[in-house]
Chains A and B, each alone.
Chain A
Amino acid sequence: MAFDITINGKAQKVEARPDTPLLWVLRDHMQLTGTKFGCGIAQCGACTVHLDGKPVRSCVLPLRAIAGKEVVTIEGLQSKEGRAIQAAWEELSVAQCGYCQSGQIMAAAALLADIQEPSDNDIDAAMSGNICRCCTYQRVRHGIKSASKKMNSKVAKSDASIEGAQVV
């Protein structure tokens, strides 16, 4: 069967069985392999993508359920939160083996889009669905906080400069 979905801003036609999980549509049909397979039962978060802006586990999301929706994967992550998270990840060398990190980054970017300055409890709640067997959790936490701080200080700075411009 053919389905219309939008992946990373591009409208696509996918020919696959309606029960095919989005994860395997991405990986095997679209050749988008940044999204990973870890458990297949929504327990590890390695397959996290954004569906209409919300983080979802693509391994349990059948193709038929996402027709007409917008999917963003790690390859298409362009939001300012996403980029801030990726920059923080590089700066803090968060990744070890890296296999879980696409999922961590997608979950973290969604968290920042939702809550500008997440508390430790917010981070626990939003990120505990993403397993990292290398246990990079401490750096994931720092990465989220550092990205949040940088984004917020940028926002503050650009506000200030606008004010300054008005004074002149």
Chain B
Amino acid sequence: MQVLRALKLYKSDLSRRDFIKKTVKLGAGLTLAVSLPSAPEALLNPAFLGVSSAENPINAFVSIGLDNSVKVIIKHIDFGQGTFTGLATILAEEMDAAWDQIVCEFAPSDKTRYANLLSGAQMTGGSTAIANSYIQMREAGASARQMLIDAAAAKWDVPREQIIVKQGILSHSNGLNATFGELSQLAAMQPLPEKVSLKDSGNFSLIGKAGLSRKDLGKSDGTAIFTQDFKMDGLMTAVVAHPPRFGATVASFDTKRALGLPGVIEVVEIPSGVAVLADTFWSAIGGRDALDIDWDTSSAMEDGSVELMRRYKEAARGDGAIAKKIGDNLRGFAEADIIVEAEYEFPFLAHASMEPMNCVARLSSEGIEMWYGCQGPTMDQYAVASALDIQPDKVKINTLFAGGSFGRRANKDSDFAVEAALIAKTVKSDSPIKLVWTREDDMRSGYFRPMYFHKMRAGLNAQGKIVAWEHKIIGQSITSGTAFEAKAIKNGVDRSSVEGALELPYDFENVSVQLKTMEAQVPVLWWRSVGSSHTAHAVETFMDQLSHAAGLDPLQFRLMHLGDDQRFAGVLDLVADKADWNNDRSGGRIKGIAVHKSFGTYVAQVADMEETKAGKYCVKKVVCAVDCGLVINPDIVKAQMEGGIGFGLSPTLMSAVTIEKGRVVETNFDSHRVLRMKDMPNIETHIVSSSEPPTGVGEPATPVISPAVANALFAKTQVVQSRLPLNLDV
């Protein structure tokens, strides 16, 4: 039996690739040395988060109640992608707990225990929650199981090997048995095991099982508590008047009218605008409406989307920084029989999560305590600490359920958390504050998926093979000027701008991918699937144009260009089979196919469209195949495919953010159109069965849908659409 030092596995500087390689080697059913953190002080302190002495912390990830509940500590925020259920499944599996006894709770902010093992910081993102926690949660469960066995062995005075654990009960052939709860106090006193055995995957009873109830409770009866719902004594509601244009600041303001209104308590200036504090939201809004503010627009953004796109197109004429180079494109193009070119324009996109940003903060002599849907506790701790000029460990963050994020809450500037902290610091009263943004505040705040321009050129030889591939990407950098810059930007190339255009499914002889990074005053951010949100569309629709030029079927054309990675063929074959790609075009059905890998997960989709009236189309059905390695929870994989496809359909069909003279034009759901019930196609998901290490599912479905839809339309109309959202009325 192979023994690996777990410590090695957890070193935070391991690259993702190393991590996956090592976990592959780990396999299943072997013993490994563990380096599990013990339970945090906070958990041992009964006052923390309602933990009572009736709870017995076993390690950093699990505590057992005298009432026989098993509380799993979840280090990743759950905003619908299912971390509560998924991570608890993994731990419960190795612990042999009964699913019904499992409850979940968010971890406190503490990167020494709860860091994302792929980044070293406590954060959720890049579809990594399951991937980085898979072995850790298994170890945590196995370790807890072992401590329960040790406790039972000591209590019953029997050899540990003779104890059986099943469904939350320990038993011995002599008739003795006990629940986890009954043994919890004794178990908590056992030393942390130095080695644990993990199950062979063939013995899994929870992992991979369909039909487990979800653990993020209270979402069908209104009892789940989001930041918007969080109450505490003396809480004041804060709303902020933000500058109307990017780059504008407060010149002067008059508070007289606002302060005269009932319910308004205070008005304060903060770096991001003017905050009104009141007893209720409605009083605060009344106060904000009554403010008289003069804005200093001397440094405000003058131009908008149209002007920026013009600049991007001009920039595309020249060469950019080399993101990838294989072979010799000059030779490739010289050999080509046909050269095909394409251009794509991608607009700014808003996350527009259902719950606008908000945050509760309470300042005290101890530091600051905050409650909100926090996606990156470590980075928010640092940003808030630096804004308040205190130490990061004086910033205590309590994570709550969040009404969506799609990247918005992992803000590189911790914008709304810092705003809340600064309001709490600036107000005279020492009451806690709840910062509430309206939809308009949320939409105007920016942090959009950057606008991009892509220019592509490829050469085909007489056999229809691609012999040259040139891809230029022009747009703002997400990480430039932030703490992420050092890791993300190499040789002038921000990985987050080009990812998805580099690791192609296809094996081309000659490739050049270039990036031109542009400056603009619009705050930009990662948006569900980051770079792939635009690169997948460009690559995959261009593939269809090329297949058309080559006179080949789009699926065959893809298959003949695939490289060594068989998992691409796996999802393509599965989706083609389930969508009956080769045969069914009956009843006016129009189909388009696309494939893409992001965050280690392979997704292929076939969009099935219908011509509802002459020249009018709608997306009827989407068949999706996904390979995300070992499946932890098939229901959640399917839910994320459905949700990810729906989310990607909004910018495919209708959503875009436009900026005019530094101002956001679409500020609410009347002008910012998003997918609704009537627009939602039927989605059918098929999962490739796999024993590869598990990878994420939160993002990878999103980038595949727009090329699949565009390809279906192209197949029917032969018109190349170079702009998103697509025009379905052609």
Nearest-CB residue, chain A, relative to B680: A137
Q: Which 9 A-B pairs have the closest CB atoms?
A: A34-B222, A135-B646, A99-B403, A96-B80, A98-B219, A97-B80, A74-B222, A33-B229, A95-B219
Query: In this assembly, does B204 line the interface, its C-beta being within 8 Å of a C-beta of chain A?
Result: no
Residues of A within 8 A of B (CB): 16-17, 20-21, 24, 27-29, 31, 33-41, 43-44, 46, 73-75, 77, 86, 89-90, 93-102, 105, 123-125, 127-141
A28: contacting residue among B214, B223, B281, B644, CB under 8 A: B281
Q: Could you list 23 examples of A-B contacts with CB < 8 Å?
A: A16-B282, A17-B282, A27-B281, A28-B281, A29-B280, A38-B355, A38-B669, A40-B439, A43-B668, A43-B670, A75-B222, A86-B220, A95-B216, A98-B80, A98-B226, A100-B354, A130-B677, A131-B676, A133-B647, A135-B645, A135-B649, A137-B677, A141-B680
A97 touches B642 (CB 8 A): no
| Identity of the chain B residue whose Cβ is nearest the Cβ of A20 in the assembled complex | B282
Q: Are B643 and A38 in contact (CB under 8 A)?
A: no
Contacts of A16 in B (CB 8 A): 282
- Bound together, the chains give a CA A44 to CA B675 distance in angstroms of 11
Q: A24 contacts which chain B residues (CB < 8 A)?
A: 280-282
Q: Which residues in B have some Cβ–Cβ distance to A below 8 Å? A: 79-82, 213-214, 216, 218-226, 228-229, 231, 237, 262, 279-282, 286, 352-356, 401-404, 406, 438-439, 635, 639, 642-647, 649, 668-670, 674-678, 680, 682-683
Question: Does A135 lie within 8 Å of B643, measured CB to CB?
Answer: yes
Apart from A38-B439, A89-B220, A136-B639, list 10 A-B contacts with CB within 8 A: A17-B262, A39-B439, A43-B668, A98-B218, A99-B355, A99-B404, A101-B219, A129-B676, A133-B406, A134-B354
Task: Report A103 CB to chain B, min CB distance, Å.
Answer: 9
In the assembled complex, which residues on chain B have CB atoms less than 8 Å from the CB atom of A86? 220-221
- Do A135 and B642 have beta carbons less than 8 Å apart? yes
Output the least CB separation between A63 and chain B (Å). Answer: 10
Would you call A95 and B80 a contact (CB within 8 A)?
A: yes
Contact between chains at A98 and B224 (CB < 8 Å): yes
Partner of A97, one of B218, B403, B669, B670: B403
> A93 contacts B639, CB within 8 Å?
yes
Q: In the complex, what distance in Å separates the CA atom of A141 from the CA atom of B683?
A: 12
Chain B residue with Cβ nearest A99 = B403
Q: For B218, list chain A residues within 8 Å (CB).
A: 98
Measured CA separation A46–B356 after assembly (Å): 12
Contacts of B682 in A (CB 8 A): 138
> Is the Cβ of A138 less than 8 Å from the Cβ of B642?
yes
Alpha-carbon distance between A74 and B675 when the two chains are bound, in angstroms: 24
Residues from chain B with Cβ under 8 Å of A89 in the complex: 220
* Given contacts A27-B281, A99-B226, A123-B677, A74 and B401 within 8 Å (CB-CB): no
Return chain B residues, CB-CB under 8 Å to A75.
221-222
Option from A28, A40, A94, A141 in Cβ contact (under 8 Å) with B220: A94
Instruction: Give the docked Cα–Cα distance between A134 and B216 (Å).
Output: 15
